Amino acid sequence: MELIHERAAGIDISKRDAKVAIRAPGKRKNSFVTTVTTWGATTNAILALREMLLDAGVTTVVMEATSDYWRPFYYLFEDALPVMLVNAKAARNIPGRKTDVSDSAWLAQLGAHGLLRASFVPAEPVRRLRDLTRARTIATQDRSREGQRLEKFLESSGIKLSATVTDLMGVSARAMLEALVHGERDPQKLASLARGVMKKKIPELVEALTGRFEEHHAFLVRMHLDRYDSLTASIDSLTARIEEAMLPFRTERALLETIPGVSTLVADVVIAETGADMATFETPGRLASWAGVSPGANESAGRVKSTHTRHGDSYLKGALGQAALNIARHPKGTYLGARYRHIAARRGRMKAIVATEHAILAAIWQMFTNGVIYDDVGEKFFIQQNPIKAKNNAIKRLHELGYNVTLTPTPNATDTAA
């Protein structure tokens, strides 16, 4: 097996310490000796370890992506040492021989022969942007859960407001909840707080607001509303900070927003998770595989066992899923929308959503690589690609509905049938 690095280090990291294995040439020709030591996980200990590795002359340092414990090591090493973060699944040790010491030695051996692929770790500005977008995503999810908790709690008071209004935190519903908290119990007066189109539902609102709302309920509803407002303030603060961090990526965000279904929030997450630098991903397929929106490859003895997608980047997948759902609900007229409907008709909505996510990422790779805006080929792409098949499918559907069909080609038709 070809030797790439004569001196390699493998680090198995835990919360409190790290096992460090250094693989170096031995006294005999073509022999190697592995020495394992234990180091603390504090900043001073990591800095001392860095100096030791520099003195040892290692040309590669391999560490597993264990939870978040790898971060202080990687961030303190990256400017001084050739450090490589690897997926624990790719560096899995032999079952039955797995200890922290053997894991570190195994990492050093794999790194010495160049058998591992480095995981993507973005530069510091992108990492900061990623921290902000992930915090906003978590806060948004927490706010949604708080609204769901409030909705469930209102059931115990007999208030069925969520069955009548679309958004429990909308202007009209929020005004009614505030009035309930402040002591108003008359359903007629509460329903009169409706605004806009909600005024048409006043009779239904009167019924929905008739219940046994007491001081106990008012106290807890107030708590839920305050939590919701606090999370909203946090989201607004994070959004303002993201706008500042996004200044170097304004061009990339503008490119992303030309894709149907991709909002500003989705574009922020895509840039934060990918770094907007496609040099890290050799092909669109590599990017889609890393994100977890490509079919899995699990074949043995000619039999395909599974095509499930891998886990991938949950934040990026969530943003792409939101864009795909926007496309699924989008009016006709776009290639992505036609692609979604084309696949959904044959393989179902969920597979169509994943396929649409894959198509979006492929477009993003091309746009960032070539510096161009999104060019939509239109919803007629599939018809133009195979017009005879499209015609036969249309005739078949009409036959299934009980119609005999005679076709007369138009002057611009490229295919004739009768």
Residue 381 lies in a domain: no
Residue 79 lies in a domain: yes
Q: Which of 317, 268, 337, 323 is nearest to 130 (CA)?
A: 268
Report residue 53 as tokens.
């590795």
Question: Digits of tens for pLDDT over the chain (418 positions)?
Answer: 788 898 999 999 999 999 999 999 888 888 889 999 999 999 999 999 999 999 999 999 999 887 889 999 999 999 999 999 998 777 776 565 678 888 888 899 899 988 888 888 889 999 999 999 999 999 999 999 999 999 999 999 999 999 999 899 999 999 999 999 999 999 999 999 999 889 999 999 999 999 999 999 999 999 999 999 999 999 999 999 999 999 999 999 999 999 999 999 999 999 999 998 898 898 999 999 888 887 766 666 667 666 667 777 889 999 999 999 998 887 677 888 888 888 888 888 888 999 999 999 999 999 999 888 888 887 777 677 777 777 787 788 888 888 887 777 777 655 444 3
Residue 120 lies in a domain: no
Identify whether residues 292 and 198 lie together within a single domain.
no
- ∠346-347-349 over CA atoms, to 5°? 110
Q: What is the domain-level CATH number for residue 12?
A: 3.30.420.10
Query: From the CB of residue 71, how many other CB atoms can be counted at a distance below 10 Å?
Result: 14
Identify whether residues 241 and 255 lie together within a single domain.
no
Domain that holds residue 316: 251-370
Report residue 100 as tokens.
């922290």
Q: What is the pLDDT of residue 418?
A: 36
- ∠261-263-267 over CA atoms, to 5°? 110
62, 124, 211, 242, 386 from 121: Cα distances, Å:
13, 9, 55, 20, 43
86: which strand partners? 64
Length of the chain: 418
Q: What is the pLDDT of residue 46?
A: 95
Report residue 94 as tokens.
């032999």
41, 78, 98, 224, 236 from 153: Cα distances, Å:
45, 50, 49, 10, 26
Total domains in the fold of the chain: 4
Residue 88 lies in a domain: yes
Residue 402 lies in a domain: yes
In this structure, the dihedral spanned by the alpha carbons of residues 282, 284, 287 and 293, taken in order and rounded to 10 degrees, is -150
Residue 149 lies in a domain: yes
Quote the pTM value. 0.84
Q: Cα(279)–Cα(281) distance, rounded to whole angstroms?
A: 5
